[in-house]
Amino acid sequence: MKKQMDLGTALPSTVRKLIRIGDLKRQATPLFCEGYKQANIVILPSSLTSDFEKFAKGNSASIPLLYTSKPGDFEAPELCNNSDIRTDVPLYTVIKNGVVETEVEHLKDFDMSNMVTFYIGCSFSFYQALIENGVTSAKAPGKNVSMYKTNVDCYPSGPFKCKMVVSMQPVHHSKLNMAADVTNCMKDVHGAPIHFGSPESIGIKDISKVDFGDATDIEEGFVPVFWCCGVTGLEALRSANVDLSFTHSPGHMFITDVASQGTDLTDMPEDAMSEVVQISAKNQQYSVVSKRTLDVLEKIAAAATKQRSGTNKAPEDFVKASLALSNAQSLAFFPGFMNCDRDLPNDVYGLLDVLGVAASLQSLGKSVAMFVEANTFDLNKAIVEICHEKGLLPKVPHLIPFQLDQPLDAQLNQERHYDVILSPETFKQKQYDQVFELVAVISEVIMISTNSKESITATNKNNPPRITADFVFGSETSDLRSCALGLAMYALQSCAIHDRYLRKAIGFPFDVNNTKQYMPSSTREKEMHEILQKVCRTSPIQTKFDKKRFDFYEDIRSMVGL
């Protein structure tokens, strides 16, 4: 009778009873009780309740609390009837002084009178929804999910300080948006994925070697997709070095009577629908935005990348360039080299372009360094310091002397790792309408530049190395690029879906209101231009701050809600 029971369609109360009497001990539960929520379990001394609740709040995707018991209370009346947390989990992990000591089938041999139980949402709850929407296929009976430790720091609270644990499902590249949309609304069971693509970028060196659960093969055309995992609770207990605590063993969950919430994808607003964008195939780098924000980026691109002929140069690459900047933490800028062994040239405008974007990125908490030609170091230093004093830059960027006769890679490697390198072209006189934005992948670095249509060229004219660009988009003038890229950063950071993805659902939403003063505007550009003229004691570029320019800035700013 027991062997013939379909555990996938069985009622939770029935399965809990079978677990309690020992019939389903040591069995993983991903295929049990389809359509009902399952829960991770953390049991610890009541003295740590407040600290763990704060830990859960700061890591709400990893530790989405469903219910918290009173000390010594073994039931969860808000989640189910007739339950006993000491017996109703197939397998428990016992942790003493931060060390996993053993696994047991019940907790009746322990004094639980002063223990509090936290019931935490589990990804098994949306597993059936992923199957029904064709995002993933059902696992073989008894097979557990793949779980990994990462290098992502959780939000700390009291003694709880640990790295995030994630679960992984391979998803076909054509179903990535669906994977995000199906789970986005399920906030109480981890919500949307926190990472797509490269396992290495979140500290997983070998995807075939799991830390918990069973390995999953990733077939060609499929992308590893990672969700927050409640096993993070186990890592939190280990980090806290508690005398005695308990958790479920990975994959062996407590099953509730609460039905899983489905997701109606036919009536989702655009700000709740996700667009997963591959930035770099070579590095398996992805980012995520809402469809509404993607529409805003495309409108910015359409406005900023128009050439005087009225054509448009690959606005989709503007989107990828913007996402590359937004995903980055550390950026290096090459603001246009100025040859001060003769009269000040007319390529100083490149610095103005870089400063506008740098201010936007700095205000978003990103690290910005500038490689400047050694001969012009003092000039660049004076300009950025005045801009900072005037409130045009949040910080003075780290300036690094650059030798034009030395290889680019060698000089970059002497410093530190940069996620993105940005360099505006230094076109002269009437060639501004030929400016193009390029993004090239160099090793693991994405380069954004304004140069020719096909390559990025160093300023060493005797032997210019060339690197094929991945993305190209055009722009009428340099300052329009600066405005477009800077305001694209604001649009992205204002997007709840993108913000969550950037912070890996750790901590709390970023407050963009504090960045408004550093976002591009015609007034800020004019102030920067006046500083350049003052420091250079000349006017290398004649810029008309007319109504057309003002209207352009205002149009782009209105697109992003400024």
Q: 171 has which bridge partners?
A: 223
Q: Do both 165 and 313 map to the same domain?
A: no
- Dihedral sign for Cα atoms in the order 217, 221, 226, 227: negative
Q: Report which secondary-structure segment, H or E, holds 398.
A: strand 398-402
pTM of the predicted structure, to 2 decimals? 0.87
Which of 260, 292, 326 is at the close of a domain?
260
Listed in sequence order, the DSSP H helices in 1-156 are 12-20, 49-58, 124-132
Q: Look at residue 299 and tell me if it is in a domain.
A: no
Q: Look at residue 439 and tell me if it is in a domain.
A: yes
The string of pLDDT tens digits covering residues 207-266 is: 999 999 999 999 999 999 999 999 999 999 999 999 999 999 999 999 999 998 777 777
When pLDDT is averaged across residues 304-331 and rounded to a whole number, the result is 73
Q: Look at residue 292 and tell me if it is in a domain.
A: no
Which of 195, 225, 260 is at the close of a domain?
260
Q: Crossing angle, helix 547-559 and helix 291-304, to 10 degrees? A: 170
Given pLDDT bands bounded at 50, 70 and 90, which one contains residue 107?
very high
The domain total for the chain is 2
Distances (CA, A) of 81 to 13, 43, 67, 235: 8, 20, 14, 30
pLDDT of 4 above 80? no
Q: Do both 248 and 319 map to the same domain?
A: no
Please give the mean pLDDT across all residues of the chain.
Answer: 83
Q: Do both 119 and 220 map to the same domain?
A: yes
Q: How far apart are CA 148 and CA 143, in angstroms?
A: 16
Given pLDDT bands bounded at 50, 70 and 90, which one contains residue 479?
low
Q: Do both 314 and 256 map to the same domain?
A: no
Q: Look at residue 412 and tell me if it is in a domain.
A: yes
- Across 49-61, b (16+ Cβ under 10 Å) vs e yields bebbbebbebbbb
Domain range enclosing 466: 308-559
Q: Do both 175 and 246 map to the same domain?
A: yes
Given pLDDT bands bounded at 50, 70 and 90, which one contains residue 506?
very high
The string of pLDDT tens digits covering residues 166-214 is: 999 999 999 999 999 999 988 889 999 999 999 999 999 999 999 999 9
Q: Do both 351 and 493 map to the same domain?
A: yes
Q: Look at residue 285 and tell me if it is in a domain.
A: no
**256: Cα separation from own chain's centroid:** 31
pLDDT recorded at residue 505 = 97
- Across 314-349, b (16+ Cβ under 10 Å) vs e yields bbebbbbbbbbbbbbeebbbbbbbbeeeeebbbbbb
Cβ pair 425, 464 in contact under 8 A = no
pLDDT recorded at residue 409 = 62
Q: Do both 319 and 248 map to the same domain?
A: no
Amino acid identity for residue 354 in this structure: V
Calculate what percentage of the chain has a pLDDT beyond 90: 55
pLDDT recorded at residue 2 = 45
pLDDT recorded at residue 346 = 41
8-22, 58-72, 403-417, 468-482, range with the lowest pLDDT: 468-482
Which of 260, 295, 322 is at the close of a domain?
260
- Dihedral sign for Cα atoms in the order 338, 340, 341, 346: positive
Determine the number of helices (DSSP H) and then strands (DSSP E) in the chain: 14, 23
Tokens 């020992």, located at residue: 22
Residue 99's domain is classified under what CATH number? 3.30.2040.10
Nearest residue to 384 via CA among 365, 368, 366, 404: 368
Q: Look at residue 210 and tell me if it is in a domain.
A: yes
Q: Look at residue 408 and tell me if it is in a domain.
A: yes
Strand order in the sheet with 163-172: 195-196, 222-228, 163-172, 146-153, 212-213
Q: Do both 238 and 333 map to the same domain?
A: no
Q: What's the full length of the chain, in residues?
A: 562
Question: What is the phi/psi pair of residue 468, to 5°?
Answer: -65, 135
Q: Do both 316 and 256 map to the same domain?
A: no
Amino acid identity for residue 120 in this structure: I
Calculate what percentage of the chain has a pLDDT beyond 70: 80
Q: Do both 412 and 483 map to the same domain?
A: yes
The string of pLDDT tens digits covering residues 115-147 is: 999 999 998 888 888 888 889 887 766 678 899
Q: Do both 340 and 398 map to the same domain?
A: yes
Q: Look at residue 7 and tell me if it is in a domain.
A: no
CB count, 10 Å around CB of 148?
25
